[in-house]
Amino acid sequence: MSDYLRYRGPKIMAVANQKGGVGKTTTAINLGAALAREGRQVLLIDLDPQGNASTGLGLSPDRREVTTYDFILGDASVDDAIQATNVANLSLIPATQDLSSADIELIANEKRSFLLHDALRDPRIEKRSLDYILIDCPPSLNILTVNAMVAAHSVVVPLQSEFFALEGLSQLMLTIREVRANANPDLRIEGVVLTMYDRRNNLSQQVEADARDNLGDLVFSTLIPRNVRLSEAPSFAMPVIDYDPTSTGATAYRDLAAELIARERA
């Protein structure tokens, strides 16, 4: 399965953590938008049946005629599935509830873990000269998240700065190891990003210290602060860098994009 030597398409990053509410969707939207602002061509794939990334980028459910579900099942081509967003250089494959039945339906499919991988190894993706594909995963280590990890080059792990944050990580790391062993030996961890960080809070500092002790350089230097602008922006169908460019949230996601690009060069 080591097809990456020949691979000339975009870098594929899964944004994953089986816990809900840790900042996956916020990170997928805002890191994606910040990379797009840097002039990179970015595609966001919404792989969560809740469709929060689709809503947050302004794609109302009635405009989601072709979805990730059609795309992974091969019922729609990339060209039919990709939609433009209001953000320059950022496109989207949206999700709807129908993805939630994928878990059950895919059990019978022999290639069930490879559907997204195969759908993305399409020459039409190369033609679009994308630089990054970000996959917004559901809050579970289910077949959808496994599809994202099998398709991806790396995993971005948002970690909420709260007490049990690190406990869930071992389960996530185990899944990454299994995917490496069975399907995608080159899968890397792009980085762990601390979200909803509160500098004045001892607990945030403790979680950060623990994360850096345990994970070392895997933890991004950039901290994403708790910032109400980040939670408001989706209801205005905007990434935070457009909704409030001077907010601490906007600054943090721009910094995260810059750090990611700098790490790639190093």
Q: Which spans of this chain sit near ligand ADP (rule: CB under 6 A)?
A: 20-26, 52, 139, 195-196, 224, 226-227, 230-231, 249
> Measured from the CB atom, is 29 or 120 closer to Mg ion?
29
CB of 240 to ligand ADP, least distance (A): 9
CB of 3 to ligand ADP, least distance (A): 29
CB of 206 to Mg ion, least distance (A): 25
- Residue 25 binds to Mg ion (criterion: CB under 5 A): yes
Side chain identity, residue 39: G
Specify which residues 43 forms β-bridges with: 91, 133
d(CA 141, CA 157) in angstroms, rounded, equals 13
- Sorted by sequence, the CB contacts under 8 Å of residue 81 that are 6+ apart come out as 66, 67, 68, 70, 71, 93
d(CA 17, CA 24) in angstroms, rounded, equals 7
Q: DSSP letters along 25-61, please?
A: HHHHHHHHHHHHHTT--EEEEE--TT-HHHHHTT--G
CB of 152 to ligand ADP, least distance (A): 17
> Measured from the CB atom, is 125 or 256 closer to ligand ADP?
256
Is the Cα torsion angle 253, 153, 66, 115 positive or negative in sign?
A: negative
Question: Which option in Mg ion, ligand ADP, none does residue 134 bind, with CB closer than 5 to 8 A by kind?
Answer: none
> Beta strands of 150-259 (E only): which ranges?
154-160, 188-195
- Residue 153 binds to Mg ion (criterion: CB under 5 A): no
> Measured from the CB atom, is 55 or 91 closer to ligand ADP?
55
The piece of 24-32, 67-75, 205-213, 217-225 that touches Mg ion (CB under 5 A) is 24-32
> Measured from the CB atom, is 21 or 185 closer to Mg ion?
21
> Measured from the CB atom, is 76 or 136 closer to ligand ADP?
136
d(CA 36, CA 41) in angstroms, rounded, equals 6
Lookup: tokens for 27: 């990170």
CB of 185 to Mg ion, least distance (A): 28
Question: Which option in Mg ion, ligand ADP, none does residue 196 bind, with CB closer than 5 to 8 A by kind?
Answer: ligand ADP
Side chain identity, residue 155: V
> Measured from the CB atom, is 167 or 264 closer to ligand ADP?
167
d(CA 55, CA 107) in angstroms, rounded, equals 28
The piece of 46-54, 62-70, 180-188, 251-259 that touches Mg ion (CB under 5 A) is 46-54
CB of 181 to ligand ADP, least distance (A): 26
Q: Residue for token digits 């916020």?
A: 26
- Residues in contact with Mg ion by CB under 5 A are 24-25, 52
